[in-house]
Structure 1
Amino acid sequence: MVSEPQQASLTADEVAARAGVSLELAKRLWRALGFPEVPDDEPFFDQQDVEAVDVLKSVVDAGVIDFDLSVNLARGMGQTMARLSDWEVSALLHREEQLKADGDGEARDPRAVVGAAVATAAEFSATFEDLLVYAWRRHLRAALARAEASTGAEDLGTTQLSVGFADIVSFTALSNTLTEEKIGDLVELFESRCADVVAVQRGRIIKSLGDSVLFVNDDPIAAYDTAEGIINVIGRDPRMPDVRVGLASGSVVTRLGDVFGPPVNMAARLTAVARRNRIIIDDATAALLPEDQFETRRLAARPVRGFGIVEPVAVRRH
């Protein structure tokens, strides 16, 4: 259960002393978690901050991980939790704003909306914490299983994947014609629909950028089905904008919860040459798709930034 916030009464020096670490190490962990740095003599902290530093210190002292790794993991945790917290608050505010709208559709006092969101967060935070730990454990097991499956690779940091990049067509121009609320609704619907399709095809969304999503699949056929599914739920819905999807396959580096490498860059570049509501793939993906199931057609050669002259491949099922 989440502990109740305590009154800030400790300085950074006092936190470090109580946790038995140097001030520099305590500040390094604090920065890694993504928290703003404060003057050393300002009473900004409480006992929970001491306990957090002490937890990391005890794991390092036990020899489970070294300090550099603890900082790396703390950075990932901090970035993830910061985004999750912003996501939660924006979702709560949007919900409360809708609930508290007057009959004529006009929003009520913003202070009342924020106050209601704060009260709702206080009610569900303890239960949500249990769900958070559950989801982390499930995802950790899945990540470890993927690591075990990739033990045949020359480098454990690399793996063979099909990478997909789905992009809303002309999003900038479209957003200029919409209200801020409509833009937010559009992005939320786009991301949620894409996430559902990716999950059904046993893939993973690596990141979302508002008007685009980057996803990966172990199987190129599943990657194609993911791309086709995104087009079906976005581009072929008359209430939604058109979308373009690029697919590329090959060896990628997995690091810091992200993926890097030529297939990632190629998938993103291919969306720039794809037609509306169409899938464009690279040669590597085309070679992996069974000829008895898919029809591929080379398109005219064209310059692709970072790759020179490339012949994209259009694809469809027989």
Structure 2
Amino acid sequence: MAPDRTPRGGSSDPPPDRPTGEQLYDAILRSAPEFSALEVAAETGVTIEETRRLWRALGFPEFVGEKAYTKADVEAVATLMSFVDAGAVDFDMAVNLTRGVGQTMARLADWEVSTLVSRVEEMERGEEATGSRIGSALRLIHEVNPPFERLLIYSWRRHLAAAVGRIEAMGAKDEDLHTIDVTVGFADLVSFTALSNTLDRDEIGDLVEVFESRCQDVVARYGGRIIKSLGDSVLFVTTTAEDGVAVAEGIINVIGRDAKMPDVRLGLASGPVVQRLGDIFGPPVNMAARLTQVARRNRLIVDQNTADLLPDSEWEHRRLPARPVRGFGLVEPVAVRRH
């Protein structure tokens, strides 16, 4: 939703009644920049270095000497420092939380804009046209953002409650609340790079969107969660090995069995992982990713740990020939199926 900079009447300046990019920017921020970094520090009682650390943690470049900060920026710093001063967390923890907010919101903002830009173009082609994409974007911002902000708070509270519950339900070790036992799954589209070279930008975007949305639906159905997606692959976790296999089978059904979609490979591995910065780390993560590289198309293979967690009364295990797996040496993957 970039400003329309097409010159009119021999001038690059828009007519007085034509919406501008600055108006769109102000409508989103709801306050104009009026403070420098030094003034933000003075207003909030923090040092200039602390101010800069927080701003960088949000993911923005520094503005040296410029009046680039708004009253909302000052209030945000003051709010953050209020629970630091109260002793709830130290400053380094506050920076860590800020970095998490910055990374999450940056992706969400890009996601929102890329989703709504097609609606802006649609409005300008129809009866709702304002004569300017910025005009339609302004209208959409006023209509969508207030309820969307309420949805953000609701969603955050729901996910926070779920995250706290997972630590207890997954059996987090008393000595290290960051470590949990899970089944890790990795789903990878086959030959995505070669395929993407034959598609235009819209087709690539549609393909990735269908892949991610279908995976999300399947993972959510079995109580798992997607840790991250990388366009042609998805990393997810479930609390049990049986749920992990159910998710993998579901992804194969909705992706691999669809003639309009590429084939997919699935790998599962189970064991303790460390949760940090919204991500997970540990041998099961690496093993699940490596297994997808040796799996057959539209097939699932698992490590021995996962196979051992599946009840023999319901599942049949079959060892596959040993093969070299980067970082693990020779590994004997296991194919599983229901009796």
- Whether these two folds match at TM > 0.5 is yes
1:281 is aligned to 2:302: yes
Judge conservation of contact 2:173–2:179 (CA < 8 Å) in 1.
no
Judge conservation of contact 1:245–1:279 (CA < 8 Å) in 2.
yes
Relative to structure 1, the CA distance from residue 101 to residue 245 in structure 2 (aligned partners, 3 Å threshold; closer, same or farther) is farther
Judge conservation of contact 1:97–1:113 (CA < 8 Å) in 2.
yes
1:37 is aligned to 2:57: no
Mean Cα deviation higher: 115-124 or 161-170: 115-124
Distance in 1 between residues matched to 2:172 and 2:299, nearest whole Å: 35
State which of 276, 287, 308 in structure 2 corresponds to 1:266: 287
Relative to structure 1, the CA distance from residue 310 to residue 151 in structure 2 (aligned partners, 3 Å threshold; closer, same or farther) is closer
Distance in 2 between residues matched to 1:287 and 1:161, nearest whole Å: 13
Judge conservation of contact 2:172–2:181 (CA < 8 Å) in 1.
no
1:153 deviation in Å?
4.9
1:297 deviation in Å?
1.3
Match of 2:75 in 1: 51
Secondary structure at the aligned position of 2:188 is classed as: strand
Secondary structure at the aligned position of 1:272 is classed as: helix
In structure 1, runs of 5+ residues without a counterpart are: 103-107
Distance in 2 between residues matched to 1:89 and 1:113, nearest whole Å: 13
Distance in 2 between residues matched to 1:261 and 1:199, nearest whole Å: 23
1:25 is aligned to 2:25: no
Distance in 2 between residues matched to 1:66 and 1:10, nearest whole Å: 26
Please list the CA deviations of residues 240-263 of structure 1 after superposition, one character each: whole Å capped at 9, or x if unmatched.
111110000011111111110000
Distance in 2 between residues matched to 1:304 and 1:122, nearest whole Å: 53
Match of 1:94 in 2: 118
Mean Cα deviation higher: 153-162 or 18-27: 153-162
1:230 deviation in Å?
0.5
Match of 1:242 in 2: 263
Match of 2:34 in 1: 9
Distance in 2 between residues matched to 1:193 and 1:255, nearest whole Å: 26
Q: How does 1:91-130 map to 2 (within 5 A)?
A: 91-97=115-121, 112-113=132-133, 115-130=135-150
1:98 deviation in Å?
5.3
Q: Which has the larger radius of gyration?
A: 2
Distance in 2 between residues matched to 1:65 and 1:154, nearest whole Å: 20
1:291 deviation in Å?
1.6
Please, what is the CA RMSD of the aligned residues? 1.9
1:253 is aligned to 2:274: yes
In structure 2, runs of 5+ residues without a counterpart are: 1-26
Mean Cα deviation higher: 72-81 or 55-64: 55-64
Aligned residues: 309
Secondary structure at the aligned position of 1:271 is classed as: helix
1:114 deviation in Å?
5.8
Distance in 2 between residues matched to 1:114 and 1:184, nearest whole Å: 24
State which of 292, 298, 301 in structure 1 corresponds to 2:319: 298
Please list the CA deviations of residues 187-211 of structure 1 after superposition, one character each: whole Å capped at 9, or x if unmatched.
0010000000000000010000001
Secondary structure at the aligned position of 1:63 is classed as: coil
Distance in 1 between residues matched to 2:132 and 2:337, nearest whole Å: 52
Match of 1:156 in 2: 177
Distance in 2 between residues matched to 1:258 and 1:71, nearest whole Å: 17
Relative to structure 1, the CA distance from residue 167 to residue 133 in structure 2 (aligned partners, 3 Å threshold; closer, same or farther) is same
1:116 deviation in Å?
2.8
Relative to structure 1, the CA distance from residue 242 to residue 258 in structure 2 (aligned partners, 3 Å threshold; closer, same or farther) is same
1:78 deviation in Å?
0.6
1:63 deviation in Å?
1.3
1:5 deviation in Å?
2.3
Match of 1:61 in 2: 85
Q: TM-score, normalised by structure 1?
A: 0.92
Q: How does 1:307-318 map to 2 (within 5 A)?
A: 307-318=328-339
Distance in 2 between residues matched to 1:289 and 1:101, nearest whole Å: 55
Judge conservation of contact 1:153–1:159 (CA < 8 Å) in 2.
no
State which of 233, 239, 245 in structure 2 corresponds to 1:224: 245
1:101 deviation in Å?
6.1
State which of 202, 216, 220 in structure 2 corresponds to 1:199: 220
Distance in 2 between residues matched to 1:269 and 1:11, nearest whole Å: 49
Judge conservation of contact 1:89–1:117 (CA < 8 Å) in 2.
no
Relative to structure 1, the CA distance from residue 233 to residue 69 in structure 2 (aligned partners, 3 Å threshold; closer, same or farther) is same
Q: Give 2:33's aligned amino acid.
A: A
State which of 136, 145, 149 in structure 1 corresponds to 2:165: 145
Judge conservation of contact 2:302–2:336 (CA < 8 Å) in 1.
yes
1:190 is aligned to 2:215: no
1:292 deviation in Å?
1.9
Match of 1:79 in 2: 103
1:164 deviation in Å?
0.2
1:237 deviation in Å?
1.1
Q: Give 1:126's aligned amino acid.
A: P
Relative to structure 1, the CA distance from residue 177 to residue 112 in structure 2 (aligned partners, 3 Å threshold; closer, same or farther) is farther
